[in-house]
Structure 1
Amino acid sequence: MFSSLAGYNRFVYIAAGVAALGGLLFGFDTGIISGALLFIREDLGLSPFLQSVVVSAILVGTIIGAGGTGPLADRFGRRKMAIVGALVFIAGALGSAFAPNVEILIAARVVLGLAVGASTVIVPMYIAEIAPPPIRGTLAALFQLAITLGIVLAYLVSYALAGAEAWRWMLGLGAVPAVVLGVGMLLLPDSPRWLVGQHRYDEARAVLQRARDSEEEINTEMEEMEEAERREEAGFGELAKPWIRPMLVVGIGLAMLQQLVGINTIIYYAPTIMEATGLDASVSILATLGVGIVNVIFTAVSLLIIDRVGRKPLLLVGLTGIILSLAILGFGYLLPGLAGAVAYVTFAGLILYIASFAVSFGVVLWVVLPEIFPLKVRGSAMSVCTILHWSSNLLVSLTFLPLISAVGETTVFWGYGVISIGALAFVYFLMPETKGRTLEKIEADLRERAGASSAQTGEVTS
């Protein structure tokens, strides 16, 4: 597995690694609120509804950030927007830390959401556009790996500060990795494919010369990018083209289903779920740390095998595990009067769920989305998909605790299981495989699959 990563220019790994720090910000904020919430609710006197609002406020900003970032990234470049996102995250983290009341805290988390939404659009695009095709899946998976590392870091910080109930420090420390991301992106160039889209061919070639070792490879990629650029138009209107529409359906479906299977109920509320089984707050956070470590391990496994196994097989296997784990989680709450048994069964279900999600949906979504859309509409298409992704996240996050209060844990987890069965069918019948091909070859294949001849292609896109 490691041999497949050898033989590529070190610059590629550095660029992908720095960009992936956007995922670390995303993961840190996702994980830190789950531990901080246990103390915020007492300090600020939050009802279950207000707890949901504090958790979900970030998603409002994320939807706005995702919607606006794609077109801006197409216009101004991936690099500049990543730097802006880092600055916005710093402002949101510090605003959360110093919030004097719940209203300011909610507003600061909306600001954080702007940066998180931007990162989920920009980072996968930047990495996909700079990575060599044979290891594009592996490098793109660094984004999700960084998310999981950010979650574990957040759990460690939460556990370390739980004794002091220092939730303000928990939230404020998110500014540190944002500074690192901003500085790192200042030192990197923009992606070669965006530069070609701006007709800056010499700059694009210069970036490829840093990222590739073979002159033949550079020439081939430049020719493919220039040809793709000549036949495309830009803008949201292009998403309605008949040959793009099927992939937009796939992208939207994957983006929404990744959330509707319930992942962020586990990430956001894992300590709350464990505490409901009878464990105290510190032990609940510690148990959740185990969940976070499993998340990192299985994300790393996915990173190492995704370019060998492929995107679609990983999703099918992972969704099968998700369905089984949700069945276990629902069953655990049917054990009356057995608090200890409930804790063990619940923890086992959480671990299986996280392992299954991490090795599949967690990584595959952010790898596939930038792969299936052509260059000129990639930003706009990513924005549409991520808007619906975060809207689904908002829906699930806002309804999780109220649904548990209304119908109980078993019904809620089994409901997510039914949705997961639908996701399995969606992937099996509609999702294409994209491993091992350049982005331009994937585009050409999609045109062919849509039944477009070369002449028709010229009529549609030029």
Structure 2
Amino acid sequence: MWSKKARKGTLLFNNIFSIVPAIMMGVSEVAGSFEIIIVARFVVGICAGLSSNVVPMYLGEIAPKNYRGAIGIVTELFITIGILVAQVFGLRSILGNKEGWPIMLGLTGIPAVIELLLLPFFPESPRYMLIQKGDEKNARKGLQRLRGWEDVDEELCEMRVEDQSERAEGQLSVLNLYTFRSLRWQLLSVIVMNMGQQLSGVNAIYYYADSIYSSAGVAEDHIQYVTVGTGAVNVFMAMVAVLIVEKSGRRLLLLIGFGICCGACVFMTVVLYFQTKLDWMPYVSIVCVIVYIIGHAIGPGPIPALVTTEMFRQSSRPPAFMVAGTVHWISNFTVGLVFPFLEKGLGAYSFIIFACICLFTFIYIWVVIPETKNKTFLEISKLFAQRNKVEIMAEDSEIKETGGEISKSEIKSTFL
């Protein structure tokens, strides 16, 4: 869809899968049918799946390379803001009650309506227009609108170099994405990072949070306010990530984030083991929850989608996001399905499994993932070329700013 309808067209079309189910859920009580809610939630899942892939891809393609990190993880920032808003509206004193829940579910369509009204005023991805559609005129116009100045020849030149360097690949699909040696380590990295993101225990932490707060002596009616507080911490750390990602880099934030999550899971295991033996231990468990949220919000939460955008060039990026999205949601579903049984069988020791996953992901990132900040997509592909045992050669100086044809001898892409 995102190759035929383009990035912006896909996002506009995707609003249907948010607005329609919001209306369905809003009228479900009047209709007296819980089946409507089930169908609506299924449709909303389609919206979430498309948005979580297309939005970071669109933002990554329209952003200048020196701000691509900050703009790319704005997606995660607004996800955390959305979660916090939902937690606030979900308070029993607001809409989290018998009378208010249909209104709360119906309000989920408002962001889609706002996007439907405003997104048409934004340009299509210039990189998509030039490389995949060959429309340099509209690519130039879109780039000039986005940058705010007329001289965009340097960026267009870089796009032409990328276009010529990947001609050997052609338009890739998910199935033949696995056959290209030049993409082998990028694809494996995307799978590891997205599995690490979801299997690191973030959903388990939230699953356990209410019982942790309760055991710490927080009154049942007040647990909802503590939950809102953790949501606020999540938003704050996502904002910090946006502010520092261009200085610290992606790799460092991933390492710090997974390191903190690993440590928090280990401490959580110890704390839960001694929780009934030491009176003050439940309060330490609350600290562990907050520390884990801080670690996840600064690295494992926002960075994988950004790095997925950066590690792939134009033709391979859409199928790469399909793989990333599939791994992301299957892993998310697996944790939600398995963790209650895991917790019942292993108790506090279940978090050791998550600690091991965080540690494995940490080691993988340390060994394999290069720093990608302030680099073009082609430069990042070259960083992986040696590990993939391929040669990717492209010289900027060979590209004419008029956009003329380039011979195969001027730009060579060799797949061994």
Q: Same fold (TM over 0.5)?
A: yes
Q: Separation in 1 of the partners of 2:330 and 2:74?
A: 24
CA distance in 2 between partners of 1:458 and 1:323 (Å): 40
User: In structure 1, how many angstroms separate the alpha carbons of the residues matched to 2:382 and 2:158?
Assistant: 10
Structure 1 equivalent of residue 146 of structure 2: 211
User: What is the TM-score of this pair, normalised by structure 1?
Assistant: 0.78
Larger displacement relative to structure 2 (275-284 or 175-184):
275-284
Matching of residues 31-46 of structure 1 within 5 Å: none
Are 1:323 and 2:262 matched, yes or no?
yes
Partner of 2:133: 198
CA distance 1:343–1:154, shift in 2 (3 Å): farther
Counterpart selection for 1:227 from 161, 164, 174: 161
Deviation at 1:104, TM superposition (A): 3.8
Rounded to whole Å, the distance in 1 between the matches of 2:89 and 2:333 is 25
Opposite residue 210 of structure 1, the aligned amino acid is R
Q: Say which one has the larger Rg.
A: 2
Corresponding residue for 2:355?
417
Q: Can you list the C-alpha shifts for 1:4-35, whole angstroms capped at 9, x where unaligned? A: xxxxxxxxxxxxxxxxxxxxxxxxxxxxxxxx
Match of 1:399 in 2: 338
Provide the C-alpha distance between the structure 1 equivalents of 2:219 and 2:108, rounded to a whole number of angstroms.
Answer: 26
Alpha-carbon distance in structure 2 between the residues aligned to 1:310 and 1:459: 30
352, 366, 370: which is aligned to 2:305? Answer: 366
TM-score between both structures, scaled by the size of structure 2: 0.86
Runs of 4+ residues over 6 Å off in structure 1? none
Q: State the 1:132 CA deviation.
A: 0.7
1:386 — aligned with what?
A: 325
Residue 78 of structure 1 corresponds to 7
Residue 107 of structure 1 pairs with residue 36 of structure 2 = no
Query: Are the counterparts in 2 of residues 128 and 371 from structure 1 also a CA contact under 8 Å?
Result: yes
* Percentage of matched positions with identical amino acids: 29
**TM-fit CA distance, 1:144:** 0.7
Residue 287 of structure 1: aligned partner: 226
How much has 1:257 moved relative to structure 2? 0.8
Deviations 1:272-318 (A, max 9, x none): 65356664543121111111111111111111111111111111111
- State the one-letter code of the partner of 1:311: R
The reply on whether 1:181 has 2:115 as its aligned counterpart is: yes
Match runs of 1:59-138 below 5 Å: 72-99=1-28, 100=32, 102-138=34-70
For this pair of structures, how many residues does the alignment match?
A: 388
Counterpart CA distance in 2 for 1:382 and 1:256 is: 14
> Residues 44-59 of structure 1 correspond to what in structure 2 (within 5 A)?
none
Q: Which runs of 5+ in 1 are unaligned?
A: 1-71
Question: Which is further off, 382-391 or 432-441?
Answer: 432-441
Tell whether the 8 Å contact from 2:17 to 2:47 is kept in structure 1 after alignment: yes
CA distance in 2 between counterparts of 1:432 and 1:227 reads 22
> CA offsets per residue over residues 183-231 of structure 1, 9 Å max, x none?
2212212111111111111001001111225555x11211221232233
Q: Which moved more, 1:441-450 or 1:283-292?
A: 441-450
SS at match of 1:137: helix
Query: Greater helix percent: which structure?
Result: 1
Q: Retained in 2: the 8 A contact 1:162–1:282? A: no
Cross-structure match for 1:332: 271
How many Å separate the matches in 1 of 2:287 and 2:34? 34
- Which deviates more, 414-423 or 297-306? 414-423
Deviation larger for 253-262 or 101-110: 101-110
